[in-house]
Structure 1
């Protein structure tokens, strides 16, 4: 069978036909365990690469307006770099509760829990764990299933949490990310994928010319440390108004002394059903990325902390505003905010969430 598969791939390559397939290579070792890099490839040649360290997306390779393939996410060449403290969780699954938790504490059913977190919700979160990973072949799409058991008491969180993330690449150049989570004790759950996008595919060092549009009329008001105060404010008349397509750099100097965007949008869709949340367009490459999600919010971050001291793929230094993140999720500090939708998962319940990044081009 292996010889037949190899022959088919060779014939496809000879006749210029791209086969849909899954492959893997050894990527290194962490904590005595082997780390693999899997590649999903669809019939159009688009590729998504994932490692089981942090369930991390390392590469998303898509065509530009001229048909040239390019990587549209930041990352590293080696496992050592991904493990490094300098890695800003690029491409990883963040949790158990991503983003902020005020005072590192929350209360569930009258009991207070103190958790070990950074301001972003984790120190040794799921992004620093080694996940199980398995291939899920299909006729019309290919998938990777990654799973992790976060044990009761890990980082102070209650309950044994079973996490499953399914990465699926379709022939419509869609990357689907599906989350399924169960628990044996009441516990908060807020998960997201933390890819840094630069849709130029290496043509531009910054994303200031990238045009974005959010299907959101409100954003979360925050106080010290970026902790929400429970209020939603209108974007109209502010530098946060991307209700129509605007370049990222157009008004970036009007906010936070020009440091860049880092805020949560409250999406118009609050139904829990999959809906369009944002559209990004990069003129240099013609690439378009549409983001769909079942989540109520999306964090927009413009790589404000990226700098030249850290080098990515091919030894290329990162630059401030060199990428943007669209982190679909429930609102930050939800466990402590009675105005926000509850994020407490209970035994017998199943948390489900889906986000889709759809790639195309405008010529």
Structure 2
């Protein structure tokens, strides 16, 4: 196991100071994970296929300014509240908070300057990369000073482990996740229609026309959301042309690590299994990437609509406004803890 650090680029902060953006390469001899401390972002994940050929299986960019300027959250840690909050409004202790509206009529992924747009402090402890950030009270209009830590580790079992920890000085919503876009054929291989996905969920949360949950928790049985057995993503996209961008309610006990999903790419033999302690996962098929060649990623590759998928381990979207959803509130003297594991196997 090794961690090597270098400079990915530099940025001028709000005080006019030039700050280097650090890149960390975590390697176990098979997997190679690269993370930068801007947005605590995964920028590369190199994984062997069944023949030992190495491909980078996450979308991203070659330079820091592209990460600053893009709007798709490639590989980022998102927060203070991942996913959507209806009309950007929630109430705590008889006080109403209005957040930024940055996704149609709703609030998305923490606002205008979410955790994906800040420079995190960084440290290495043994084989772990630890990134930390203190979000000030009322940043993006969220109450409480939130002290956050995200830990990355690559294990001997070919697991990419991400652990999230947070504490607060006042009652506040918290929902952190990683927003990597995966293509197990390689970031440059185009379509994801040749992938098969399984999601360990008997229920899902339907949404309205603005992608806000209706409050219902419905069974997946006899619907397009029944992914309990391996299902071709191509078939999913044929039956749901607009694509998936939905929360699935993961079976099993909350706060206990359990299997969330698996995705298999037969041509390469790569299998990715996802495990998490969170109640939900957002399955997103990159529907909002462009249909033209306007988005240029690593090595000049054009990233297009539905050329990748995301599996964002999370609490349910808009949970702060639905009493029947798992609580997404963190109080003083409590701890937010969330682990996610991405295991890579070839077969």
TM-score (norm 1): 0.90
How far is the alpha carbon of 1:224 from its aligned partner? 2.9
1:289 equivalent in alignment to 2:266: no
8 Å CA contact 2:154–2:160 kept in 1: the answer is yes
Tell me the CA shift for residue 45 of structure 1.
2.7
State the secondary structure of the residue aligned to 1:226. Answer: coil
CA contact (8 A) 2:58 2:187 kept: no
Q: CA RMSD in A?
A: 1.1
Is residue 95 of structure 2 the alignment partner of residue 111 of structure 1?
A: yes
- Which of 252, 268, 277 is equivalent to 1:269? 252
2:216 partner SS: strand
* Alignment size in residue pairs: 335
d(CA) in 1 for partners of 2:209, 2:283 = 18
Q: What is the CA distance between 1:117 and its match in structure 2? A: 4.2
Equivalent pair of 2:87/2:101 in contact (CA under 8 Å) = no
**Which aligned runs of 4 or more in structure 1 are off by greater than 4 angstroms?**
none
Aligned match of 1:25: 6
Mean Cα deviation higher: 150-159 or 27-36: 27-36
Report what 1:10 is aligned to.
none
Q: Which runs of 5+ in 1 are unaligned?
A: 1-19
Counterpart position of 2:328: 343
Deviations 1:292-339 (A, max 9, x none): 000000000001122321011100101211100000000000111111
Equivalent position to 1:246, from 231, 234, 239: 231
1:37 to 23, 28, 38: 23
Alignment of 1:205-216 (within 5 A): 205-216=190-201
**What is the distance in 1 between the residues matched to 2:288 and 2:316?**
22
Structure 2 residue aligned with 1:132: 121
CA contact (8 A) 1:204 1:284 kept: no
Structure 1 CA distance, aligned partners of 2:71 and 2:83? 16
TM-score using structure 2 length: 0.94
State which drifts further: 145-154 or 228-237. Answer: 228-237
Match runs of 1:21-100 below 5 Å? 21-30=2-11, 31=13, 32-42=18-28, 44-84=29-69, 86-100=70-84
Mapped partners of 1:94, 1:217: distance in 2: 26
Structure-1 separation of matches of 2:309 and 2:161: 19
Give 1:239 shift: 1.5
Is residue 253–residue 259 contact of structure 1 (8 Å, CA) maintained in 2? no
TM-fit CA distance, 1:192: 0.6
The worse-fitting range, judged by mean Cα deviation, of 25-34 and 279-288 is: 25-34
Gaps in structure 2 of 5+ consecutive residues: none
Contact 2:206 2:216 in 1 (8 A): yes
* Partners of 2:273 and 2:343 within 8 A in 1: yes
